[in-house]
Amino acid sequence: MAFLFSKSKQIVASLLCEKIAYSPFSQSSSRIGFHLPRIARASYATDDSPPPPGTAAGDSESIEVHSRDDIAHHRDTRDNSSVMDFPGGGIRFTSQIRFLPESYEERVHCYRVLDDDGNEICSNDFANVTEEIALKIYTNMVTLQAMDAVFYEAQRQGRISFYVTTIGEEAINIASAAALSDDDIIVPQYREPGVLLWRGFTIQEFANQCFGNNSDYGKGRQMPIHYGSNKHNYFTVSSTIASQLPHAVGAAYSLKMDKKDACVVTFFGDGGSSEGDFHAALNFAAVMEAPVIFICRNNGWAISTPVKDQFRSDGIVVRGQAYGVRSIRVDGNDAIAMLSAIKSAREMAIMEGRPILIEALTYRVGHHSTSDDSTKYRPAEEIQWWRTTRDPVARFRKWIEGNNWWNNEAESELRNRIRKEILFAVQVAEKASKPPIADIFTDVYDVLPSSLSKQEQSLRETIKRHPKDYPPDFPL
């Protein structure tokens, strides 16, 4: 019995060792023939020592994935000749009782290109950004800020019922969109309207959705910020956390079956990674080799729950490897780093038919939503530090100014023009008529089930009984 127990212990230890030693993408070194950010080596380390100097992201000219041999050298070599044939590949035995550490002393490195002052910190390991693209990125980030200011205010004035800002996450929103092709399908959480903005969804269209008017594609049936657009390959927001992730994998698999030159990009927060759907989606994507890019906006908070109360892993990036998904950690407040990492990810996802996980480190500078007051659960200084020192928009502005592509005059012209445009769109959206009440019940069933007919009848009777409680401008 003792013998059997000790044997099974050995097998379990070997299996566990194998899981981290042989990264699922380490069958061979994979190289793509142009400049791409290197996947942080720290995620492939095989013992609990810090990664060797010079192996952090950003110090190589091409993607480099470590081979099995590379990693195996860190292990006990005494029993190397003895390999067990096991589903998934051979497993080397070891005579040492060695548990995998629960964490590494040094956390997975974070890829960045610009420092907090907008200076380039590495010379060649990032995508080329032309003046035209840089200015489009900046203009879109400023537009997002201006939309947030006006819509947030409109909610405070009681003109719309709800709003969510993207303050602090403008670079993730815009730079990721800039790295993609319009054919790529976006499956969002809810804090990524910038992707839609980049693709040409107009300020008027945003306003129509927030006011739930007749021109809203959702016919006023959703809360504000639940944008969606077939034309822009942007799935409608579903704020049921993480439910979009398995859908994204299914959509990616269908692109692969149809041999499309496109991938699916799905966004979620750190809170989303704490849901079961995240784990199901990662595993499903890995096994089905679906071309999907998971972009996690790790902004430190899931409403009032900080990441330290959500998980004990080194963030989200390390979980990719457990599922056999290539992963990278990126400074989410560095637009150029985001653009470069996502361009590389897209290339790998489509060319190699595989999922990629990106953990973008950022901070939710605004309250969770208009229903929240975040000063009740986090220090004002913390918010202020991210709002000022780590502001992604100011950082990018410094970079374009350093390139002589931008100046104060252009800045004030842009901000004035955009604000006027948004205020105008809000006025138009507010004045527009509302969709008829009957629309609440259409578009799901071909023939309305009796339960819904009863609900419709009951709603109409309630309105008749309480006419003053119902907005007079709603067509019945």
Ligand X SMILES: Cc1ncc(C[n+]2csc(CCOP(=O)(O)OP(=O)(O)O)c2C)c(N)n1
Instruction: Give the active site residues.
Output: 153, 239, 368-369
Beta strands in 132-272 (DSSP E): 185-187, 264-269
Q: Per rule CB under 5 A, is residue 270 in the interface with Mg ion?
A: yes
Residues 6+ apart with CB under 8 A from 190: 164, 225, 226, 237, 239
Which of ligand X, Mg ion, none does 194 bind, CB closer than 5 to 8 A by kind?
none
Contact between 92 and 145 (Cβ < 8 Å): no
Instruction: Give me the least distance between CB of 102 and Mg ion, in Å please.
Output: 23
Which of ligand X, Mg ion, none does 256 bind, CB closer than 5 to 8 A by kind?
none
User: In this structure, what token pair is assigned to residue 43?
Assistant: 């995620």
Contact between 147 and 352 (Cβ < 8 Å): no
Task: State whether the Cα torsion 231-240-422-380 is positive or negative.
Answer: negative
Which of ligand X, Mg ion, none does 368 bind, CB closer than 5 to 8 A by kind?
ligand X
Pairwise CA distance, residues 327 & 207, whole Å:
36
Q: Per rule CB under 5 A, is residue 299 in the interface with Mg ion?
A: yes
Tally the C-alpha atoms within 13 A of residue 165's C-alpha that lie toward its C-beta: 26
- Bridge partners, 463 (sequence order): none
Rounded (10°) angle between helices 335-352 and 392-402: 100
Closer to ligand X by Cβ: residue 42 or 245: 245
Binding range to ligand X, per CB under 6 A, among 91-99, 267-275, 317-325, 418-426? 267-275
Tally the C-alpha atoms within 13 A of residue 309's C-alpha that lie toward its C-beta: 6
| Per-position x/- string for 207-246, each x denoting binding to ligand X as judged by CB under 6 A, each - no binding | --------------------------------xxx-----
Q: Per rule CB under 6 A, is residue 271 in the interface with ligand X?
A: yes
Pairwise CA distance, residues 327 & 341, whole Å:
10
Q: Per rule CB under 6 A, is residue 270 in the interface with ligand X?
A: yes
Read off the DSSP letter of residue 234. Answer: B
Closer to Mg ion by Cβ: residue 213 or 298: 298
Binding residues among 164-193 for ligand X as defined by CB under 6 A: 191
Instruction: Give me the least distance between CB of 172 and Mg ion, in Å please.
Output: 12
Closer to Mg ion by Cβ: residue 302 or 349: 302
* Binding-residue total with ligand X (CB under 6 A): 16
Q: Per rule CB under 6 A, is residue 301 in the interface with ligand X?
A: yes
Closer to ligand X by Cβ: residue 111 or 301: 301
**Which residue ranges make up the site for Mg ion (CB under 5 A)?**
269-271, 299, 301-302
**Which residue ranges make up the site for ligand X (CB under 6 A)?**
191, 239-241, 268-272, 297, 299, 301-303, 364, 368
